[in-house]
Every structure is written in C-alpha cells, then in structure tokens.
C-alpha cells in the first residue's frame, strides 16, 4: 500500500511526518528557507531523503490562505508563495528527484482547517459529529468539520468567525472601551483584532496601561491585578459574544481550541463558562476545551484528509 507523507509548513519550520494507520511519526523538522527556489529544493530533498516513492501520497498543511483558482498561498510569514503555484512546482521538483512524477496530486490545506480535521478525527472532537475548532494564536481563526468533512463554503471562507465588523464604535470613556482596530482583511473591529495574543495586548494598552505581553496580562489576571482583570473581563465578554453567535449558526457540539493562548487553561475555562451561558441552548458539559493535537495539529489534520482521499479512491 502507498505510504502517506505529511508536511506542516510554517514561517519558521517545515515539519515532515509519515503515517500508518492511527500512527503518525514525525521524521524531521528543518528551518524554512527565506527564498522560493531554496524552499522548493529543501522541501523536495527532505521528501526524497525520507524515501517518498511515485505511488505515495503527499499532503501539506500550510499557515496561509490558499487561492483555489491558481494555487497561490497568502501567508504573512511566507510572502514568496503569493505569486506562484507551489504545489505544482513542488510536485515537479519531487518528480525530477524520483525520475518519474507522483501518481497522486499533492493535497494542500490551510493549517486552521487541518487543526479542525485533526481534532475531529483524532482529538477532542472525535466522539462528536459537529466540531467547530478555533485558533487563538497571534490572531483568530476557525473551521468546521461535520461528520468528518471539512465545511469549505464560498471561496473556502467558511468558519472564519474572526472576520467581519463586530466591535461597535464606542465612546472612549465607556468602561471596558475596546477600539475598532483595523484588520488585515480591510474591515475594522473584527474579532481577529482583539481575540488573539496581539489583540489582548492591544486592548490592554488601549485602556491606558503600559505595554505588557499576553502572558503577563493573563498572569496578572490570575494574580488579581486590577488592570489585567479588567482587560481579561472585556476580552472574554467580547470574544464569547461573537463565539455564541457562531455556535448558534453552526450548531457545533464541541469547540477545541488551538494556538498559543490555548495553553492558558484558566482563560479557556473562562471562555467556556462565558459562552455556555450565551448560546441559545445552554450546555451542562464543557463546550470550549483545549485541543489535544497541539503543535502537531497541522500534521494530524492533513493526515486525516489523505486517509479520507485514499479511502475514497
């Protein structure tokens, strides 16, 4: 049977794993080259050295949004992928090393989608039909898996609960004031501008406090610091407003959380208890919980997708 090779490509590292059944073994991680030619060569060399063959399948989880029309990838940390079709170029480079092309097309998926697939298949959502996974990283992402299938939606935009003008214009003297920060998507007041680590820091500074990183703000909150407590209260209140609406629309049964803030256990608990009382059908059980696939969510998610592809072939 063909083997499955999985890549997780981020701005700092390229990780390679090979899968077999319920087991996925990480083979190697290398630094991401900063230039496109070197990036393609390094990745193809890594796969050739790991023994990929023409009948094997290759999947890629990548930290960026994928343009399904031309194969370009838009990622802040991988700017050299914006005007190329890297899947085709990588396939050609592997073909040169093997002396024959790969039989199956390379499957490329966004890392937030992979995290949702990973959690729905192998992680915290594996016993549920309807999983809405969220990323609380530098910004905010999300993706829905229903009965094992990723919901893609128009232009692949389904699940993007972090975007859209959500935060209302307020008088700056309002207690708990949150500015309508500009978002990279072109809107103002997106949940993405306040829900990640950078957003938490920006909210804290906007309230007139000295600059502190997200960990210091969360630690301050846990230790009873008044300013940090006020910031985290505003953060949880706004984030759970948006998440409750999202869960009413999607009807999701469980919300695994990934990204850097998911390791802040008390914060995830506060989000869980906040949102459980705002959704249309309040839940007695935990709804928002830390994901189980963690740092390897991208690899496990693309692995889940390729297992599905192979079973359907």
Q: Which stretch binds Zn ion (CB under 5 A): 1-9, 129-137, 172-180, 191-199?
A: 191-199
Per-position b or e across 26-48, b if 16+ CB within 10 A of its CB: eeeeeebeeebeebbeebbebbe
Is 287 in contact with 166 (CB distance < 8 Å)?
no
The answer to the question of residue 15 lying near Zn ion (CB under 5 A) is no
The answer to the question of residue 194 lying near Zn ion (CB under 5 A) is no
Using the minimum distance from each CB to Zn ion, give the nearer residue, 197 or 306: 197
Angle at 9 between CA 8 and CA 11, to 5 degrees: 140
Residues between 88 and 127 that touch Zn ion (CB under 5 A): none
The answer to the question of residue 163 lying near Zn ion (CB under 5 A) is yes
Least spacing, CB of residue 305 vs Zn ion, in Å: 26
φ, ψ for residue 87, nearest 5 deg: -65, -45
- Of 30, 105, 185, 266, the one binding Zn ion by CB under 5 A: 185
Least spacing, CB of residue 111 vs Zn ion, in Å: 18
- Of 47, 183, 247, 288, the one binding Zn ion by CB under 5 A: 183
Whole-angstrom Cα distance, residue 271 to residue 257?
11
Q: Which stretch binds Zn ion (CB under 5 A): 45-53, 116-124, 156-164, 290-298?
A: 156-164
DSSP secondary-structure letter at 188? B
Q: Which stretch binds Zn ion (CB under 5 A): 82-90, 134-142, 162-170, 250-258?
A: 162-170
Is 103 in contact with 110 (CB distance < 8 Å)?
no
Whole-angstrom Cα distance, residue 77 to residue 140?
16
The answer to the question of residue 182 lying near Zn ion (CB under 5 A) is no
Which residues of the chain form contacts with Zn ion (CB under 5 A)?
163, 183, 185, 187, 190, 192
């Amino acid at each position: 049977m063909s083997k499955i090779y999985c890549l997780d490509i981020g701005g700092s590292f390229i990780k390679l794993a090979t899968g077999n059944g319920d087991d996925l073994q990480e083979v190697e991680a290398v630094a991401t080259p900063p230039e496109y030619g070197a990036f393609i060569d390094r990745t193809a060399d890594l796969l050739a050295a790991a023994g990929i063959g023409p009948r094997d399948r290759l999947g890629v989880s990548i930290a960026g949004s994928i343009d399904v029309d031309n194969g370009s990838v838009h990622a802040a940390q991988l700017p050299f992928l914006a005007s190329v079709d890297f899947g085709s170029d990588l396939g050609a480079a592997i073909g040169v090393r093997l002396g024959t092309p790969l039989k199956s097309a390379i499957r490329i998926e966004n890392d937030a989608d992979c995290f949702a697939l990973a959690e729905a298949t192998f992680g915290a959502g594996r016993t549920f039909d309807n999983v809405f996974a969220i990323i609380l990283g530098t910004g905010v992402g999300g993706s829905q898996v229903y009965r094992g299938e990723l919901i893609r939606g128009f232009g692949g935009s389904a699940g993007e609960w972090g975007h859209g003008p959500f935060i209302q214009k307020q008088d700056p003297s309002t207690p708990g004031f949150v500015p309508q920060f500009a978002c990279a998507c072109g809107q103002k007041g997106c949940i993405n501008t306040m829900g990640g680590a950078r957003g938490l820091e920006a909210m804290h500074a906007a309230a007139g406090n000295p600059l502190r990183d997200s960990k210091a703000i969360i630690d301050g909150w846990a230790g009873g610091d008044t300013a940090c407590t006020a910031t985290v209260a505003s953060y949880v209140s706004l984030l759970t407003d948006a998440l409750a609406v999202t869960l009413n629309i999607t009807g999701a049964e469980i919300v695994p959380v990934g990204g850097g803030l998911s390791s802040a256990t008390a914060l995830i608990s506060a989000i869980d208890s906040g949102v459980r009382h705002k959704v249309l059908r309040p839940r007695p059980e935990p709804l928002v919980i830390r994901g189980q696939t963690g740092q390897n969510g991208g690899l496990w998610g693309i692995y889940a997708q390729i297992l599905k592809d192979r079973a359907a072939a």
